[in-house]
Amino acid sequence: MARSRIVEFEYNNVFGRYLGVSVDFFVKNALWIGLAIGSGIMLLLPAIKRGAGTSVNASDAVLLINRSHAVVLDVRDDAEFAAGHIADAKHIPLAQLPDRLKELTRFKDKPMLVYCESGARAGKAVSLLAKHEFKQVQQLQGGVKAWQDAKLPLVKG
């Protein structure tokens, strides 16, 4: 029994010398360490899922449209588009996007702003466009709802 304590002491002493902590710290706090690592992964998961594209808020989207002459792509359904959309937006519903990518190939190297009602469909569209080598694709955070909350105009029809 005395020998195992000596070995344990030497083991902890070696780690304590190099790491500045003992193994007992990790054993006693394994639950908290696991929780911290899990939380970090959960925070990074949306960024990983989003893929190559980034997202911009409504005011940055206005700057992107006005200064960089971004192509605006609306991926909502026909009825949603008719109810109101951003001026000069190209309308391709998300369900049709894979079949209609040829219409957008001339814009592969230009800035592109993709939006939907709240952001979920736009995220899928951004991932699809990034897979097809569109280089400057960005998503409107919060979609049309965020655009309207920022008191920005929509065109009907």
Res 54: pLDDT: 81
Token pair, residue 10, equals 């030497």
- Render pLDDT for 130-139 as a digit per residue (tens, 0 to 9): 999 898 999 9
- Render pLDDT for 64-86 as a digit per residue (tens, 0 to 9): 999 999 999 999 999 999 999 99
Rounded Cα gap, residues 45 and 37, in angstroms: 12
Domain ranges (residues) in the chain: 2-49, 51-149
Indicate the class that CATH gives domain 51-149: alpha beta
Res 15: pLDDT: 53
Q: From start to end of the chain, where are the E strands?
A: 54-56, 71-74, 90-91, 111-115, 136-140
Provide the whole-model pTM: 0.67
Catalytic amino acids?
116
User: Taking Cα atoms as reference points, which of 104, 103, 100, 101 lies closest to residue 112?
Assistant: 104
